[in-house]
A and B are shown apart, each in its own frame.
Chain A
Amino acid sequence: MSFPWANHYQPKNPFMQWLDSRLPLPRLVYNSVGAGYPVPRNINYLWNFGVLSGLALLIQIVTGIVLAMHFGANTLVAFDSVEHIMRDVNYGWLLRYAHANGASFFFIVVYIHIFRGLYYGSYKAPRELVWMLGVVILLLMMATGFMGYVLPWGQMSFWGATVITNLFSAIPVVGDSIVTLLLGGFAVDNATLNRFFSLHYLLPFVIAGVVILKIWSLHIPGSNNPTGIDVKGPADTLPFHPYFTAKDLFGACVYLIIFSVFVFFLPNYLGHPDNYIPANPISTPAHIVPEWYFWPFYAILRAFTIDFILPAKLWGVLAMFAAILLLFFLPWLDGSNVKSNRFKPVSKQLFWVLMLDLLILGICGGKPAEEPWVRISQIASMYYFAHFLIILPIVSRIERPLPLPNSIAEAVLGKSEPAPATAAAQPAE
């Protein structure tokens, strides 16, 4: 598909020949995730996280569809129906704990997937659209995760929804109308719950659609790799099947083990106790916190505490959205002609500073809006924007990268050895 030396689909089974000549679905699979897709041979375990994200999405969709069979999207029964699932539905506790923890794990693998892209420059040409479609998926995931958290109709559901939808009122002129439109009324109520349920059911399938576009777009240049240099010949690649299917199966098993530890032994560790209290519009929790995967962005939102020409709230909302939207422009903000941080000593260190910065922002986002957390989150937010919008554009243009290997094969096999024959890259018998 992507490279001239890719294996071609030649079905031997008469039925597959018959099917392939009428509906080339086996061919599509073969060329996408089979032996017909050549992948750089040197990709490391961080490249497992794309497949893991797909697995996490699948788990969410399957558990979510079954949960929806038992859930009542009405403020009068939503909380009770969740407890009914936990107590009376066969394996309902498993479905719900898998779905609630599955959301957290989906974000964990997607964040690692994004950090891998940042470190190895996977967002750079020719993969800009792959990256941008990924940012679209991230935004859709955030919307889905947020609306899903509202559905159990606990205290954090209700008050989280109140706080987050209220952000849109910061938009000048039309803000209040937008909030009314979002909520279906003047406060978070049954209309809100019902539309959030509808959208929460819809968006995962939109995500699945964007995933297909993303994989399609990825298959034009093929996967990036830890050296960041382009694939040049057959010696650089191995067919996806059996090499990376085997590796992905192993990675998926490890993922499922960690996931199972949370689902079966720490099911409420990532949740908030207040969400086991039914929503009560006249009792505000002491600290309203969103789910952990929103904490860095929640910290940025709350870091803007002074009215500077614009109201502080509007600054916070603009900054929070800008913090994600700026990722769309990353392929052009980064002016380096080398992709991988492996060959960029300064950028590599800056990457780890960014990781530390995100960790600090995450911690601040989970804390109450008090000192010293507010000031720390202000400084950390400053670095976040400076990193992507000022430091990266400048450093990427002036940094002198280390010498690159001539090819992936050379990087892997060393200069002394002759490039192996293509036979080595054939599927094992």
Chain B
Amino acid sequence: MVRLFGIAIGAVFCVVLLFAALAPREATEVDPTLAFHEHPKQVHWSWDGPIGLGVFGGYDRVQLQRGFQVYKEVCSSCHSLNRIAFRNLTEIGFSEPEVKAIAKNWAVEVPTINSETGEAATRPAIASDRIPLVYANEIAARAANNNALPPDLSLITKARHDGSNYVYSLISGYADVPANFPADRRPEAPLHYNPYFHSLAIAMAPPLSAGQVTYAEGQPEPTVDQMAQDVAAFLTWAAEPKMESRKRAGLGVLAFLLILTTLAYLSYRRVWAGIKH
């Protein structure tokens, strides 16, 4: 009885699926701009490690500090980084006095209330504050940016496929619109053509130009490519600040488990010695 019901139900599903599979498809128009999309350029990052598998590599503190400088002097005029507190900057090698100075001199002050009148006010940031929002809210952000919303960058490298390479490619990959690009799809001002952006037309103007940031003595030349790599590395740290302790713990855990597995295997062999199975 179950079998007959089963065969009947199975036959019904199969017939419906067969009709669906045979049904003619509407000719789908292939988006002519698809061919212009490019995958992110692949960079060998410090955390990819010597063998490139990402098992051993950590962050390059000096690079992260350069990246922070780029973020502070360029990106932070529009993009917030609100999941990072100033105190976190000690993790990338800044000393406590340096962090206090960075917080105190930050371009945006922290909203607070006047302790006497209760009115809205601002005060200079302190080390325990998170990096303040650039705009008070989304409407203010859009109003200042031709209705585009500059996203918070705290998690950006984890919120995009191949995030570190993506951020690097996006900000260093602006290009002229290709000559054979469909005329009716050309990005119009205020949008800019960028082959790494999902819609190919991004509201952000090319943010970097060579020499825009002055790196400290002995640091690499601040080319667009160099600054883009540095800030992408900094944002990778911002999105995954515990990566180094994670990998360290992982190596310890794996070493422990390999020994335990060996012992477990030897015990297993010993218990089963002479037992056919």
Contact = CB atoms under 8 A, between A and B. Distances in A.
A246 B264 contact: yes
Nearest to A86: B242
A326 B6 contact: yes
B136 to A, nearest CB: 17
Interface of B is mostly: helix
Contacts of B270: 428
A243 B275 contact: yes
Interface string B19-48: 111010100100000000000000000000
Given A276-B155, A333-B6, A253 B260 contact: yes
Contact of B18 (A242, A312, A319, A382): A382
B6 A41 contact: no
A370 B257 contact: no
A381 B17 contact: yes
B264 to A, nearest CB: 4
Nearest to B83: A83
A65 to B, nearest CB: 21
B51 interface: no
B185 interface: no
Interface string A72-105: 0000000000010011000001100100000000
Contacts of B277: 41-43, 238, 412
A304 B6 contact: no
B189 interface: no
Interface string A240-253: 00110011011011
B126 to A, nearest CB: 17
B159 A274 contact: yes
A335 B3 contact: yes
B158 interface: yes
B261 A257 contact: yes
B50 interface: no
Place the interface of chain A in its size category: 35 or more
Contacts of A181: none
Instruction: Give the interface centre of B160, B246, B270 by most chain A CB atoms within 10 Å.
Output: B246
Contact of A256 (B17, B55, B257): B257
A246 B10 contact: no
B183 interface: no
A246 B267 contact: yes
B246 A267 contact: yes
A277 B159 contact: yes
A386 interface: yes
A125 to B, nearest CB: 13
A93 B239 CA distance: 12
A154 B21 CA distance: 35
Interface in A281-327: 286, 303-306, 308, 312, 315, 319, 322, 326
A413 interface: yes
B250 A265 contact: yes
Contacts of A381: 13, 17
Interface of A: 41-43, 83, 86-87, 93-94, 97, 238, 242-243, 246-247, 249-250, 252-254, 256-257, 260-261, 263-265, 267-268, 273-274, 276-277, 286, 303-306, 308, 312, 315, 319, 322, 326, 329, 332-333, 335, 370-371, 375, 378-379, 381-382, 385-386, 388-390, 393-394, 412-413, 424, 428
Given A305-B20, A326-B6, 9 more contacts: A93-B245, A238-B277, A253-B257, A276-B159, A378-B17, A382-B14, A389-B9, A389-B11, A394-B7
7 A-B pairs with least C-beta separation: A264-B250, A389-B10, A253-B261, A276-B159, A378-B21, A332-B2, A250-B264
